Amino acid sequence: MRSSATRPSLQAPPGRYLKERLIQGIFFLCASLAIIVTVVTIWIFLSGSGIFFTKVSMWEFLSGTRWAPLDVARPSYGALPLIVGTLIITGIALLIAVPIGLLSAIYLSEFASERVRRIAKPVLEILAGIPTVVYGYFALLFVTPLLSTVLPDIQFWNALSAGIVLGIAIIPLVSSLSEDVIYAVPRALREGAYALGATKFETIRLVILPAAISGIAAAFILAMSRAIGETMIVAIAAGRVPTWPPDLLRPLQTLTVHIVNVATGDAEAGAFIWATIFAIGALLFVITFLLNLLSYWIVRRFREQYE
Amino acid sequence: MTTQTLQRDRRLLAWRKTKSTLFGSLTFSTILISFALLVALFVYILVSARPMMAMRATAQAGLVLSTMVVQWDARNIPYVIVTDFIPDSAAARAGIEEFDVITRVGLKPVSRSAEVWEVVARWPHDAVPVSWISRDRTRIFGELMPQADPSTGAMRIVIDYLPEESLGWQAGLRPGDQIVRVENIPVTGTRQAWEALIVAAHQKPRPEPFIVEIERAGELRTVALEVEQTAQIPITRSWWHAIWDFLTSYDSNSPEKAGLASAIAGSFYLVGLTALFALPLAVGAALYLEEYASKNWLTDLIQLLIANLAGVPSVIYGIIGLEILARSLKMDRVLIAGALTMTLLVLPMMIIAAREALRTIPDSIRHAAYAVGATRWQVVRAHVLPYALPGILTGLIIALSRAMGEAALLILLGAFQYLTFIPGLWSYFTVIPIQIFTWIGEAKDGFANIAAAAIIVLLVILLAMNGLAIFLRIKFQRRW
């Protein structure tokens, strides 16, 4: 008794290491969920679109200009109108979001006083937090009527207003990502430029932007990926009809909207139309996954430059 | 020579400075644009939601309305009818019945239900004069019969039966009269005789007798017919009542009666379940990556995949959820399936946020605990987690507010439903964003207004969630 009190055991209580290992194992399982989800996703899309591609050739899918999977007499599975529609909406959105987002980021990190920053940043955060159905409502019932005063030919559902509002929705994404990279440009670079007599504009244009360009490119790519995957704004405001050739003032359909169309339609569970959402989904998944990978890779490479 | 150079340099310098200022203003203007857009969005939604109060007050007074269209002279002429008869309502007591045509409200002609609500919203008194034409034909013309004229063979519209208490009888019409013209509109069919009244009523600036030309025993006569009836209908307009009614009633085919009850319950249920599923998984994964993992290819891969999964479009998760839960596990498209799928969507975001919270805990805390002999789990449980918890919860709430506004994923999981009950775990469900989406798609007047009202409810909930996150951050924030 006495000896054990004076000489504390260095041995851990029995089971302690087992418990430690068990807990670590559980946490590892949680983390490995990311691998499981990715693998399952890839498997689901491979097997799901496998059914689709036994009936429709890959070439027809990617180059056909008539998307009419619900046409009973003459179904046609050319996804080009959807792909081009997605690219058009994404293009308009980026045209809006990239200049505004980038310039806001420059303002916030280079020009704004602390007081202005405290007001301006929440504005962008609120824009980022607004659900996309709300943007869809805004596009359909506010932006389209507004545009119709300038463009009388515009239809109730059209690509233009959906693209513009989608652009507004991703402004905060562009601005916060670019602000992070602009902020990460070392102070020494700025001060070096000022010491040489450069004005603020020259410093930004010749020093900061070139230094931050890879991060800005990553932001651009993420914004693109987000725009390609955006669903609700387009489903509400761009109409749900595939058109070929595409027209900004007329309705068009994107990849995501086709998926929504099938899900809200009344097709039976086993119908072939459900196979199309796997083919479309696989396309969407591959595009966004590659874009995300690219931006992740750029950001990593960029980060290592200054750390 | 030197002064010239100096001047040129000065000009150049001034120009460079101006460029800088101009660029500064340009960048500032983009912030103003964002601000203006935000204000425009909020103002537009508030303005669009405003008629909701008048809508519900009108419906409560017994006027559940619908806009119909009559074809006239190749034109589409809209008119308002009462689609729902509410016994014991103010309108019912005034004598308005189902399918009666509302011609004017506040003595102004109305042809769309939205116009009715607008007048009601602006009417300064508690009782609004409402005029209507009774759909019950016997009150006006009795039963009409098309007959061939024995001499010419042309079609005549003749009154076949007319009760003595009818408006037509009181105005002097009798059975056997042939109706020739209503307010100068030639009558050639029985339905047209009736529709002529609606068209004529819209052209009159105020309720006054209609001139009906009839032929009785071979001679033409005119009769002044009081077609429109007018009554003062008491309407109580209360913001609180309208809002409460909107929040507690179920979806309906009439925008005046449709409410958000199922959607609000569904949203909270879904987000609560998502939190329950996602929090332990996110914390576990974040703890593994921050506290346990050694730097190797597997850890790198997991990080890469998490970053990528955070950017995968939500419809993709919808398809995965549909395939795994609904198809493979034969689950119906019920609320719990929605919550499980939503967990997949928010998990990457929450892991990233939880990792950031864990990274703010300085290593000195960990080292101190290790120094007194704590095991890794003891360090995590007793020191790292408690300190990081507010940060983790903040990240959780922000990820959940994303789930609260998410619609695309749930459309695939079948939340696109017409629901008139409070959803449970294993029942079909709907959520606020989907309810908004459904209402935006409705063509009927008024649905856009209640969609705006639902948007306000959604934004208030999101604001409360973000407020809670900010509160947690401020209250428990530590500086190390």
What value of ipTM does the predicted structure carry? 0.90
- pLDDT confidence of B167, banded at 50, 70, 90? confident
DSSP reduced 3-state for B327: helix
- pLDDT confidence of B480, banded at 50, 70, 90? low
Q: What is the pLDDT of residues B301-312, one digit of tens each?
A: 999 999 889 989
- pLDDT confidence of A4, banded at 50, 70, 90? very low
Q: Is B181 in contact with B175 (CB distance < 8 Å)? A: no
Q: What is the pLDDT of residues B112-150, one digit of tens each?
A: 999 999 999 999 988 999 999 888 777 788 888 888 877
Q: Above 50 in pLDDT, residue A3?
A: no
Q: Does any domain span residue A114?
A: yes
Q: Above 50 in pLDDT, residue B385?
A: yes
Report phi then psi at B213, rounded to 5.
-95, 130
B446 CB neighbours in chain A (<8 A) are none
Write out chain A in H/E/C secondary structure. Answer: CHHHHHCCCCCCCCCHHHHHHHHHHHHHHHHHHHHHHHHHHHHHHHHHHHHHHHHCCHHHHHHCCCEECCCCCCCEECCHHHHHHHHHHHHHHHHHHHHHHHHHHHHHHHHCCHHHHHHHHHHHHHHHHCCHHHHHHHHHHHHHHHHHHHCCCCCCCCHHHHHHHHHHHHHHHHHHHHHHHHHHCCHHHHHHHHHCCCCHHHHHHHHHHHHHHHHHHHHHHHHHHHHHHCCHHHHHHCCCCCCCCCCCCCCCCCHHHHHHHHHHCCCCCCCCHHHHHHHHHHHHHHHHHHHHHHHHHHHHHHHHHHC
Domain B50-237 grouped into CATH 3.90.1150.10? no
Distance of CA B166 to the CA centre of its chain: 43
From the list B38, B45, B287, which residue is nearest A126 (CB)?
B38
Q: What is the pLDDT of residues A58-112, one digit of tens each?
A: 888 888 888 888 777 888 888 899 999 999 999 999 999 999 999 999 999 999 8
Cα dist from B243 to B50, B258, B432, B433, whole Å: 11, 12, 15, 18
**DSSP 8-state class, residue B295:** S
Q: What is the C-alpha radius of gyration for chain A, rounded to an integer number of angstroms?
A: 26
At B224, which amino acid appears? A
For residue A150, give the CATH number of its domain. 1.10.3720.10
Number of domains in chain A: 1
Name the CATH superfamily, with its identifier, for domain B245-476.
Answer: MetI-like (1.10.3720.10)
Q: Per-residue pLDDT averaged across B382-402, rounded?
A: 91
For residue B216, what is the enclosing H or E element? strand B210-216
User: Between chains, do B313 and A229 touch, taking CB under 8 Å as contact?
Assistant: yes
Q: Above 50 in pLDDT, residue A1?
A: no
Q: Does any domain span residue A73?
A: no
Searching chain A, which residue's CA lies closest to the CA of residue B42? A138
Neighbours of A51 (CB within 10 A): 14
Q: Above 80 in pLDDT, residue B285?
A: yes
From the list B28, B311, B344, which residue is nearest A111 (CB)?
B28
At B63, which amino acid appears? L
**DSSP 8-state class, residue B360:** T
Whole-number pLDDT of residue A12: 64
- pLDDT confidence of B464, banded at 50, 70, 90? very high
Searching chain A, which residue's CA lies closest to the CA of residue B39? A123
Mean pLDDT of the residues in chain B: 89
Give me the residues of A, 125-154, that contact B with CB < 8 A: 126-127, 129-134, 136-138, 140-142
Q: What is the pLDDT of residues B18-61, one digit of tens each?
A: 999 999 999 999 999 999 999 999 999 999 999 999 999 999 99
B17 CB neighbours in chain A (<8 A) are 199
B412 interfaces chain A, CB cutoff of 8 Å: yes
Whole-number pLDDT of residue A2: 47
For residue B248, what is the enclosing H or E element? helix B239-248
| Residues B436, A136: Cα–Cα separation, whole Å | 10
Domain extent, residue A282, equals 82-306
Query: Which one of B279, B290, B316 makes the best mutation probe of the A interface by having the most chain A beta carbons within 10 Å?
Result: B316
Please give the span between the terminal C-alpha atoms of chain B, in angstroms, as a whole number. 62
User: Between chains, do A292 and B45 touch, taking CB under 8 Å as contact?
Assistant: no
Tell me how far apart the 2 most distant CA atoms of chain A are, in Å: 98
Do the strands B101-105 and B108-109 form a parallel or antiparallel pair, or are they unpaired?
A: antiparallel
Neighbours of B5 (CB within 10 A): 9
Whole-number pLDDT of residue B314: 93
Q: Chain A to chain B, count of Cβ pairs less than 8 Å apart? A: 243
Q: Does any domain span residue A11?
A: no
Please give the span between the terminal C-alpha atoms of chain A, in angstroms, as a whole number. 57
- pLDDT confidence of A303, banded at 50, 70, 90? low
Do the strands B228-234 and B101-105 form a parallel or antiparallel pair, or are they unpaired?
A: unpaired
Q: What is the pLDDT of residues A17-63, one digit of tens each?
A: 788 889 999 999 999 999 999 999 999 999 888 888 988 888 888 88
Q: Per-residue pLDDT averaged across A235-258, rounded?
A: 87
| Residues B298, B424: Cα–Cα separation, whole Å | 40
Go through chain A and tell me how many residues it has.
Answer: 307
Q: Above 80 in pLDDT, residue A301?
A: no
**DSSP 8-state class, residue B67:** E
Chain A nearest-CA distance from B188, in A, is 38
Q: Tell me if the bond preceding A186 is cis, omega within 30° of 0.
A: no
Q: Does any domain span residue A39?
A: no
Q: Is A106 in contact with A99 (CB distance < 8 Å)? A: no
B477 vs B249 pLDDT, higher one: B249
Q: What is the pLDDT of residues B352-379, one digit of tens each?
A: 999 999 998 999 999 999 999 888 899 9
Neighbours of B358 (CB within 10 A): 21
Q: Per-residue pLDDT averaged across A146-159, rounded?
A: 91
Question: Which conformational region is residue A250 in: left (phi greater than 0), alpha (psi within -120 to 50 degrees), or beta?
Answer: beta
Mean pLDDT of the residues in chain A: 88
User: Between chains, do A142 and B466 touch, taking CB under 8 Å as contact?
Assistant: no
**DSSP 8-state class, residue B362:** -
Q: What is the pLDDT of residues B228-282, one digit of tens each?
A: 888 999 988 888 989 999 999 999 888 999 999 999 999 999 999 999 999 999 9
A184 vs A227 pLDDT, higher one: A227
User: Between chains, do A137 and B28 touch, taking CB under 8 Å as contact?
Assistant: no
Provide the token pair at B224: 């002044």
Whole-number pLDDT of residue A233: 95
Q: Is B120 in contact with B110 (CB distance < 8 Å)? A: no
Q: What DSSP letter does each residue of B8-54 carry, written as one string?
A: HHHHHHHHHHHHHHHHHHHHHHHHHHHHHHHHHHHHHHHHHHTHHHH
Cα dist from A183 to A2, A105, B355, whole Å: 64, 9, 21
Q: Does any domain span residue A12?
A: no
Cα dist from B348 to A35, A215, B66, B98, whole Å: 12, 21, 47, 55
A296 interfaces chain B, CB cutoff of 8 Å: yes
Q: What is the C-alpha radius of gyration for chain B, rounded to an integer number of angstroms?
A: 34
